[in-house]
Amino acid sequence: MLHKLNPVRLGFLREAIDEHWRGDRESVKPLAGKTALDVGCGAGLLCEPLARLGAAVTGVDAANENIAAAKAHAAGSGLAIEYRAGELASLGLGQFDLVTAMEVLEHVADKQAFVSELAAHLTPGGLMALSTPNRTPQSRLLLIGAAEAVGMVPRGTHHWEDFATPDELRELLAHAGLTMGEPRGIGFSPMKGLHLSDDRALNYIVTARTG
């Protein structure tokens, strides 16, 4: 499922990057000279395309096995990505121009502490991007009930009560000193598959900026 979701996230990110830094929309490396931090990076699914877009990328994940897989895959692809295992707050990584956390917020118990830690790693004038499921009746039915029933995600992956609505995320970001952009939905249809949408009932992706 994450492999199918990644192109949708990348399409949103490319638009946000071009808008934020007013770059050349035809450039194949719009993040050249920029640093990027992907929190909850897993096996590097987002880190690698960010590196190909020109960024100096650091990926962080709490699971050692994910970091081992990410390092091995990056080496095989010839990509120089810094991977670190552990909790973000304990790693002393400094600040980054771009900070991403995709499908992570719903797994975090203390959401305010997590968002504030992300904000602390964002340079002034930087760009943050997050995606997470919305807490709606539709997400309970489809992202948990149906998705687990047909094996699209392992049982117990998600707990509906831990999903955050866009309004709740806006408040978390504001408390951390960030301004949230307009969220875009990530929808699904048999014809289009996963795609960016105005419907935020299932999942949404959003940017945040300092100031």
Domain boundaries, the chain: 2-133+164-210
Which H helix or E strand runs over 206? strand 203-210
Average pLDDT of the chain is 91
Is a pLDDT exceeding 90 seen at residue 196? yes
Helices (H), 22-126: 47-52, 64-77, 111-120
- Residue 18 binned pLDDT confidence (cut-offs 50, 70, 90): very high
Cβ-based neighbour number of residue 41 at 10 Å: 28
Place of tokens 């939905």: 185
Q: Which residue has the tokens 């990328």?
A: 57
Contact 58, 35 (CB under 8 A): yes
* Residue at 122: amino acid letter: L
Pairing status of strand 82-85 against strand 96-102: unpaired
What's the pLDDT tens digit per position in 127-152?
999 999 999 998 888 777 555 545 55
Decide: helix, strand or coil at residue 29.
Answer: coil
The encoded tokens of residue 15 equal: 């638009």
Contact 41, 83 (CB under 8 A): yes
pLDDT at 2: 63
Question: Could you tell me whether strands 184-189 and 96-102 are parallel, antiparallel, or unpaired per DSSP bridges?
Answer: unpaired
Phi and psi (nearest 5°) for 78?
A: 70, 30
Contact, 85 vs 64, CB < 8 A? yes
Q: Counting Cβ atoms within 10 Å, is residue 40 exposed (0-12), middle (13-18) or buried (19+)?
A: buried
Predicted confidence at residue 184, as pLDDT, reads: 96
Better-predicted residue by pLDDT, 25 or 138: 138
Q: Phi and psi dihedrals of 39, rounded to 5?
A: -100, 130
3-class DSSP state of 25: coil
Classify domain 2-133+164-210 by CATH number: 3.40.50.150
